[in-house]
Amino acid sequence: MSVLEKVSTLLGVGGARSAPPPRYAGIADGLVLTEGEAWAWWTCETSNSDLMSEAERDAEQARAETTLTQVLAGMDVHLRVLWSPYSADDYRDEAAQMYVAGRWQEWAEHRADRLDQIALPIRHVLLGVRLGARKTPAARRVTDAAGASAQGVPARELATWHTAARRLGRRLEASPWRCSMTTVETLAWMITREQHRGIPAPVAGRSLVTGATLAALTQGRALPYPDHLRMADATGEIVAWVAVLTMPTWAERMATPGPGEWLRTLAEVLYLPPDEEDQDRDPEAAGLLVPVSPEASVRLRVLPKRVAIARTDATAKLVREQKHSAANHAIGDPGQVITDAGQTMADLRADLEREELSLVEDHPRLVVTSTTSLEDLRARVDAVTAHYGDYGITVQIGTDEQRALWLETWAGDRVRVPGLGHVRDTSAMAGAWWWGGARVGSDTGPVIGYLTGSTPGVVRLSPVADGRDATTVALIGRSGRGKTTAAMMMALEAAFYGAWVLALDFKGDLGGLTVAADRYALPSRLVQMTRAHAGAADLIPLLAEAGRDAARAEVPAQLSLVTPPHLRAAGAEVALQAAANAVISGSPSPATWQVLQHLRDASDPVARATGDALFELSQTPHGSLFMGRPERGAAPALTTQSGVWAVQLPGLALPGAGDARESWTSVQSLSVAVMHSILAYGVTTAGRPDLRTLPKTIMVPEVHVLTGTGQGRHFLDYIARVGRALGVRFILDTQDATGLLLLPGVIEQLAMVIGFQLTSAPQQDALAELLGLPVGPATRERIRKLAIGDGDGIRHGHSIIRDPKFGAAATQWDVPTAELLDDLDTSPRTAAEAAPDGVPA
Ligand SMILES: Nc1ncnc2c1ncn2[C@@H]1O[C@H](COP(=O)(O)OP(=O)(O)O)[C@@H](O)[C@H]1O
Ligand SMILES: [Mg+2]
């Protein structure tokens, strides 16, 4: 709907092209004051629009529209989408606050180097609103020392603007943009960068910046050329080439999702840098395309309905006059443009009167910058033009207007070239989705990877559970997709943070964790549980320590797992329960080996036979761990210091996700029973009073083995609940999303779900539910594609992460160095090797 633009152009409205640039009087948190005006600025949060359901998107877009019409109506708004490279130096600084253990400096350095290498652009979406004109004339302000604060802006005036900004801010906070006041640092950055000064603004911690400091931010030199500007630094050297593009024509109707999201898609514009052009490869496949990161500056004003109707009437009148004048002056046919404009205005007026429609007048500009060369700038501009051309939007360089258009983008400036504006309905403006894209994780904490959705960014996860909130992290997906690697990266992060990390290695693929810990001098040990640790995993003392009476149910269930089927069929379970009850009630220090003894001493033949069978099994390495009689004076296998402790059970043979209980071999049954116990072992160790203040993480891989049986499910529920009470972070991994869904107790405790590729529809649907994504074909396809890379190989470490705060977003886990990836290699190192899809051989 670019009708007004043409009318304006035809009328030759002058605008304020030659007005002097804004002179800044002061900036403070959330405020930019020029000599004549006061503007409030907010930072918009990214919303996870990539993975929203259509209904959620529509609802959020409608809320954005409501904010435009109800909160911002009649105000001058300045929307800016800016990019900055992710600063790895900041990360180096943060590391000192984050880490305490091992050679964390080296660890942080490896991550920072990697961030430098990936050079992720970070998006900043800022929303400025003109609060009003400043009343004090400039000349008086300087001389009127009495009313002025030491910094030069009267303190009372500043307070007034702050109040006005806060009032508006409360309503913007509640909008889908979740606005927060822009900090003075960010505002200083925004102002400085237009000048390409490249000097960090020395404003940190200052509540008001004025005078010489402020002047220093704006001392750039821009040399205008017909189709670009050259930015000179203090020595006169050209440091950047900038082109301001306008968007003169627009498709009549645009859909969202799709071309209507013209502000969100800024992130998606890629180009081939000129120095890569000679390559003989397909640039897309070879990964040579890099983001252009065009920036947007949109000045807009929402016209309340009454004003909008008056506006259409005025425009219609102008169109009529134009027609008339063209006819009178015999300069020929008034032209199709004017006739169309008249018709569009008539239609629009009818719509406005009939519906609750309101209009927005906007002046969009795109700013494209190169810091390498003019040729590079041109390549970038071409990419932007082509990108929007596909959407039916004409984007072109504002020829001969570069300086005026560039000044327009400054905070506190105004529309200088009015002939390039548009009037559209507010839903179309909200549909631009400037705040849309992807985001997940925490605001602080270790960087574990980067977003792979429509907007770039790093993904940070807090290294340990915070407080007594939900603590369990579930990694779900097919074997070989990167679950264990991701879990080990989390475990290492926790260890650098000073946590006690217990990694239960049921599959024999966690040996690399202690190798990696050694590389960075983190305390660590690979504990191999053997017969020497007989009784170490006995559930009766373990569960007693946790202060529960759970052993009465858990022990018979565990023993039943390893009882031969013919004895179970003969009623062994009744005997097991009776023996367990007798021992737990009667013995001064009850233990499972006593239950076996009790059974062997029984008069009932089934009980005796069961006791004998279990006693034989208790002589095996696995059986001895949970049913064996401890040796006198055996040293505990684990310490409770912070560090990485991997407990390995050599020769464990776990059944696969799909194996029926009846088909388990006796070694598999024993393995499951041991796993059962070792988990309890970890939990009770974590529950020791001397560990109260220590951050704790327990890593439990392959839990689908437990979700496969009733006892296992019950047990996992129990563990998750105890874990929460103890403030322990649990990292679970499983190949079985449907099985996990059957565990309400675990689901309740989930703080985070990390979904990798799954290939069957029921599994994909279960994962969709766990991730809070719409269950249906689109999500299935998304989950199926997770591990599909550029070539024909598997894309490892690609997942969808759901956090409780922001929702879900696609994330690539990133292992910062090749050496570390090598250390963490999960290829089978022991006899318990994994066959395809995780079914151990
Ligand atoms: N983020 C990653 N980047 C690169 N390679 C990875 C990544 N995650 C996993 N891999 C590779 O994929 C293989 C399988 O990963 P693993 O974590 O064992 O998967 P899972 O636990 O899902 O079976 C590992 O040998 C590892 O080298
Ligand atoms: Mg694994």
Query: Does the pLDDT at position 481 exceed 70?
Result: yes
Average pLDDT, the chain: 84
Distance 376 CA to ligand 1 centre (A): 38
**Beta carbon of 460 within 6 Å of any ligand 1 atom:** no
* Secondary structure letter of residue 656 according to DSSP: -
What does the block give as tokens for 127?
Answer: 């929303």
Report whether 512 contacts 94 (CB < 8 A).
Answer: no
- Residue 607's pLDDT band, with cuts at 50, 70 and 90, is very high
CA diameter of the chain: 121
Q: For 711-729, what is the mean pLDDT? A: 80
Q: Which DSSP letter does residue 836 get?
A: G
Q: Which atom of ligand 1 is nearest to the CA of 481?
A: 22
Distance, CA 506 to ligand 2 centroid (Å)? Answer: 10
Q: Which of 98-107, 180-189, 636-645, 738-747 has the lowest mean pLDDT?
A: 636-645
Q: Is the pLDDT of residue 716 over 60?
A: yes
Write down the residue that tokens 């290294």 correspond to.
463
Per-residue confidence (pLDDT) for residue 137, from 0 to 100: 56
The percentage of the chain sitting over the pLDDT mark of 70, rounded to a whole number, equals: 87
Asked which of 244-258, 368-382, 541-555 is least confident by mean pLDDT, the reply is: 541-555
Q: What angle (nearest 5°) sits at the alpha carbon of residue 769, between those of residues 763 and 773?
A: 115
Locate the ligand 1 atom nearest the alpha carbon of residue 509 and give its number: 18
The 3-state DSSP class for residue 458 equals strand
Q: Which range, of 23-27, 169-173, 275-279, 751-755, averages the lowest pLDDT?
A: 275-279
Q: Is 483 in the pocket of ligand 1 (CB under 6 A)?
A: yes
Three-class SS state of 249: coil
Q: What's the CA-to-centroid distance between 90 and ligand 1, angstroms?
A: 29
pLDDT at 719: 80
User: Would you say residue 555 has pLDDT above 60?
Assistant: yes
| Mean pLDDT for the stretch of residues 91-110 | 94
* Token representation of residue 730: 């649990």
Place of tokens 């388990």: 664
Closest atom, ligand 1, to C-alpha of 812: 1
Q: How far is the CA of 750 from the centre of ligand 2 (A)?
A: 19
Q: Is 757 a pocket residue for ligand 1 (Cβ < 6 Å)?
A: no
795 pocket-lining for ligand 1 (C-beta < 6 Å): no
**Cβ-based neighbour number of residue 67 at 10 Å:** 21
Q: Which residue has the higher pLDDT, 487 or 654?
A: 487
- For ligand 1, atom 13, the nearest C-alpha belongs to 480
Length of the chain: 841
Distance, in Å, from the CA atom of 204 to the CA atom of 797, rounded to the nearest integer, reads 38
If pLDDT is split at 50, 70 and 90, which confidence band does 203 have?
A: low
pLDDT in the model for residue 1: 25
CA 789 to ligand 2 center in whole angstroms = 20
Q: Which atom of ligand 1 is nearest to the CA of 827?
A: 25
Q: What is the pLDDT of residue 447?
A: 95
Give the per-residue pLDDT at 805: 80
- pLDDT attached to residue 470: 67
The answer to whether 700 and 507 have CB atoms below 8 angstroms apart is no
Distance between Cα 472 and ligand 1 center (Å): 21
832 — pLDDT class (breaks 50, 70, 90): very low
Q: How confident is the model at residue 149 (pLDDT cuts 50, 70, 90)?
A: very low
578 has pLDDT over 60: yes
- For the Cβ of 441 lying below 6 angstroms from any atom of ligand 1, the answer is no
Q: Which atom of ligand 1 is nearest to the CA of 814?
A: 1
pLDDT at 389 over 90: yes
Q: Which ligand is nearest to the CA of 823?
A: 1
Pair of tokens at residue 816: 């910062």
**Burial letters 215-243, b for 16+ CB under 10 A, else e:** eebbebebebeebbbbbbbeeeeebbbbb
Quick check: 685 pLDDT over 50?
yes
Q: What one-character-per-residue DSSP string does 279-335 give?
A: -SS-TTTTT--EE---EEEEEEEEEPHHHHHHHHHHHHHHHHHHHHHHHHTT-----
Q: What are phi and psi of 468, to 5 degrees?
A: -110, 25
Query: What pLDDT is recorded for position 154?
Result: 87
Ligand closest to CA 489: 1
Whether the pLDDT of residue 437 is over 80: the answer is yes
DSSP letter string over 586-642? H-SS--HHHHHHHHHT-SSHHHHHHHHHHHHHTTSHHHHHHHSPPPTTPPPS---SS
Q: Report whether residue 796 contacts ligand 1, using a CB cutoff of 6 Å.
A: yes
Show me where the domains of the chain are located. 3-304+358-430, 460-529+640-776+814-832, 534-636
Mean pLDDT of 324-331: 61
- Quick one: three-class SS letters along 688-740? CHHHCCCCEEEEECCCHHHHCCHHHHHHHHHHHHHHHHHCEEEEEEECCHHHH
Q: What is the predicted pLDDT for the residue at 602?
A: 93
Q: What pLDDT does residue 200 have?
A: 53
What count of Cα atoms within 13 Å lies in the side-chain half-sphere of residue 620? 19
pLDDT at 792: 65
Distance 479 CA to ligand 2 centre (A): 6
CA distances from 571 to 175, 552, 578, 618, 659 (A): 64, 18, 12, 21, 24
pLDDT band at 779 (very low <50, low <70, confident <90, very high): very high
Ligand 1 pocket check for 485: Cβ under 6 Å:
yes
Separation in Å, CA 779 to CA 256, 761, 763, 800: 18, 10, 12, 11
Ligand nearest to the CA of 479: 1
Res. 7: pLDDT tops 60 = no
For residue 99, what are its two tokens?
Answer: 């880490």
Alpha-carbon dihedral angle through residues 371, 376, 379, 380, given to the nearest 10 degrees: -10
Say whether the peptide bond before residue 257 is cis (omega within 30 degrees of 0): yes
Share of the chain above pLDDT 90, in %: 45
Please give the Cα distance from 63 to 179 (Å, whole number). Answer: 14
Ligand 1 and 813: CB distance under 6 A:
yes
Region of poorest pLDDT, from 148-152, 285-289, 351-355: 148-152
Quick one: which of 527, 517, 528 has its CA closest to 494?
Answer: 517
State the Cα angle at 784 between 781 and 789, rounded to 5°. Answer: 110
Q: Is the CB of 816 under 6 A from ligand 1?
A: no
Distance 715 CA to ligand 2 centre (A): 21
Which residue puts its alpha carbon closest to atom 14 of ligand 1? 480
Q: Does residue 797 line the site of ligand 1, with CB under 6 A?
A: yes
Q: CA 33 to CA 41: how far, in whole Å? A: 11
Q: Separation of 522 CA from ligand 2 center, angstroms?
A: 23
Gap between the Cα atoms of 577 and 570, Å rounded: 14
Q: How many angstroms is it from 817 CA to the middle of ligand 2? A: 20
365: which strand partners? 246, 297
As a whole number, mean pLDDT of residues 26-38 equals 92
Q: Select the more confidently predicted residue: 12 or 771.
A: 771
Whole-number Å distance between alpha carbons of 116 and 449 = 13
- How much is the average pLDDT of 377-402? 94
Rounded distance from Cα 718 to ligand 1 centre (Å): 29
Residue partners of 246: CB distance under 8 A and separation at least 6? 364, 365, 366, 395, 396, 397, 398, 405, 417, 420
Give residue 4's pLDDT: 26
CA dist list (Å): 449 to 32, 115, 119, 457, 824: 35, 9, 13, 9, 16
Q: Is the confidence at residue 209, as pLDDT, over 90?
A: no
- Side chain identity at residue 334, one-letter code: P
- Tell me if 839 CB under 6 Å of ligand 1: no
- SS3 for 64? helix
Q: Is 821 a pocket residue for ligand 1 (Cβ < 6 Å)?
A: yes
For residues 512-529, average pLDDT: 91
Residue 733: name the closest of 482, 522, 462, 366 by CA.
482
Mutate to test the pocket of ligand 1, among 481, 506, 796 (most ligand atoms within 8 A of CB): 796
Residue bearing the CA closest to ligand 1, atom 1: 797
Reported as a single tens digit per residue, the pLDDT across 487-496 is 999 999 999 9
Residues 522-529 have a mean pLDDT of: 87
Contacts (Cβ under 8 Å, ≥6 apart) of 811: 440, 441, 448, 449, 450, 451, 452, 459, 754, 798, 799, 800, 801
CATH number for the domain formed by residue range(s) 460-529+640-776+814-832: 3.40.50.300
Digit-coded pLDDT (tens) for 47-95: 989 998 888 899 999 999 999 988 998 899 999 999 988 888 889 999 9
Q: At what angle do helices 592-600 and 551-562 cross, to 10 degrees?
A: 60
| C-beta of 704 in contact with ligand 1 (< 6 A) | no
Between 28 and 304, name the one with better pLDDT: 28
The residue with tokens 């997940």 is 440
Best of 826, 827, 830 to mutate for ligand 1, by most ligand atoms within 8 A of CB? 826
Atom 9 in ligand 1: residue holding the nearest Cα = 482
Please list all protein residues whose beta carbon sits less than 5 angstroms from ligand 2, which is an ion. 483-484
The confidence band for 839, taking pLDDT boundaries of 50, 70 and 90, is very low
- Evaluate: CB of 511 within 6 angstroms of ligand 1: no
**Span from the CA of 731 to the centroid of ligand 2 (angstroms):** 12
Instruction: Return the minimum-mean-pLDDT range out of 308-322, 365-379, 783-797.
Output: 308-322
pTM for the full predicted model:
0.84
How many other C-beta atoms lie within 10 A of the C-beta of residue 310? 12
Alpha-carbon 230 to chain mean position: 36
Examine the pLDDT at 833 and tell me if it is beyond 80. Answer: no
Give yes or no for residue 158 having a pLDDT over 80: yes
Cβ density class 344-358: b for 16+ within 10 Å, e for less: bbeebbeebeeeeeb
| 689: pLDDT strictly greater than 80 | no
For the ranges 251-260, 317-326, 789-798, 805-814, which has the lowest average pLDDT? 317-326
pLDDT at 791: 65
Over the stretch 696-708, which tens digit does the pLDDT of each residue have? 899 988 888 888 7
Segment 440-454, tens digit of pLDDT: 998 889 999 999 988
pLDDT band at 11, cuts 50/70/90? very low
Q: What is the pLDDT of residue 2?
A: 26
Cα 539 to ligand 2 centroid, rounded to whole Å = 26
Ligand 1 centroid vs 798 CA: distance in angstroms?
10
